[in-house]
Structure 1
């Protein structure tokens, strides 16, 4: 029987996960549940979990940093992120920190239990949307003609930001933003913002 700890500051969610695991499967035992990473880390050598269910938004140390710390202490422990976030940056930060898988909190009970089984079998479960983000990002890294900064600028353009808004957000001058946009148009062989955003989305660059 695999031992699980839950790191989730919402008591209702914490109890729901525990109830689901304990009543719907005999393969896992929830040995403890914590509201902070600090508490979980302090008890790792007592709990010795095989799997950690980890939220990201936590008081004090966040789940990504908590994942990194747990992996350093117990490198064979699998960490499954369960978060409301579907932002690619959160996903990659979590995976780079050592998370085994990443699913969203809107996943149903069956998907959560399947994810635990996948982790136990040596897999790396991800929600459908998260998997799409990963594939899209790898495609962008391998094929996009844009630099990281140009990609940031184009993403902000796609959100409807003005040149001045973009300049403020990435801490550069308005002229620098214009320079990046000019390069984006040249590289994508387009002549305006709408064409640039449309082509970049269709090609998977943003």
Structure 2
């Protein structure tokens, strides 16, 4: 990574700051540039980006959908997806779309630096979990893990409704809604509500 220029695309400034410190202090990167969205990355004017670290979950265009336009914009720069979870299907999709790696945000500093260096040398950095992705994975396989009530809650989640409003719509307590939301996140392998919405939409459970 030494003497390399890295572009971090992530909407959380605190995470960008921490990652930048790791890459500069441990990785000895030559320069770090930042963007808080896919759009800002596509408008990036500097040349000579050696690798792009792309957050999977951002407002507007998410990281998975952003792989193609970012690849078109930075034709020779490998892309590594950053995520808070190790969803094998998201990994497989990222790999299919041309990403060179998939890093968990909870990885240690040394692991991150080693993985990025591997990509810079022409390799890849995908967890072995990517091999667990099921090519026949579809909406039925995921929705079967949810109860009918949880599917109802998920539909409201995907409409962006808060727990209080969901509770009112389904005539249940907010605490019961929270329990259902927790079960939904677990069943979908999501770390938060936004990621659950993304997975549900991507897998055709909701539209």
TM range (shorter): 0.5 to 0.7
Contact 1:6 1:30 in 2 (8 A): no
Contact 1:3 1:30 in 2 (8 A): yes
In structure 1, how many angstroms separate the alpha carbons of the residues matched to 2:140 and 2:10? Answer: 35
Task: Between the two structures, name the one with larger relative contact order (CA 8 Å, sep ≥ 6).
Answer: 2
Q: Paired residue for 1:13, among 12, 15, 25?
A: 15
Q: Which moved more, 1:93-102 or 1:3-12?
A: 93-102
Contact 1:31 1:47 in 2 (8 A): no
Deviations 1:86-118 (A, max 9, x none): 223322222222211001111111110011111
Give 5+ residue unaligned stretches, structure 1: 142-146, 170-206
Q: 1:29 to 1:59 in 2, by over 3 A?
A: farther
Whose Rg is larger?
1
Q: Give 1:34 deviation, angstroms.
A: 1.1
Contact 2:88 2:131 in 1 (8 A): no
After superposition, residues 99-118 of structure 1 pair within 5 angstroms as 99-118=99-118
The structure carrying a bigger helix percent of its residues is 1
Residue in 1 aligned with 2:205? none
Deviations 1:27-70 (A, max 9, x none): x2333111111111111x42431100110111212112222111
List, as ranges, runs of 4+ consecutive aligned residues in structure 1 with deviation greater than 6 Å.
none
Number of residue-to-residue matches in the alignment: 152
Q: Find the residue that maps to 1:111 and give its secondary structure.
A: helix
What TM-score results when the alignment is normalised by the length of structure 1? 0.64
Q: 1:107 to 1:8 in 2, by over 3 A?
A: same
What TM-score results when the alignment is normalised by the length of structure 2? 0.64
Q: 1:19 to 1:68 in 2, by over 3 A?
A: same
Residue in 2 aligned with 1:72? 72
Contact 1:7 1:53 in 2 (8 A): yes
Q: Find the residue that maps to 2:32 and give its secondary structure.
A: strand
After superposition, residues 106-185 of structure 1 pair within 5 angstroms as 106-127=106-127, 131-132=128-129, 134-137=130-133, 140-141=134-135, 152-157=139-144, 159=145, 161=147
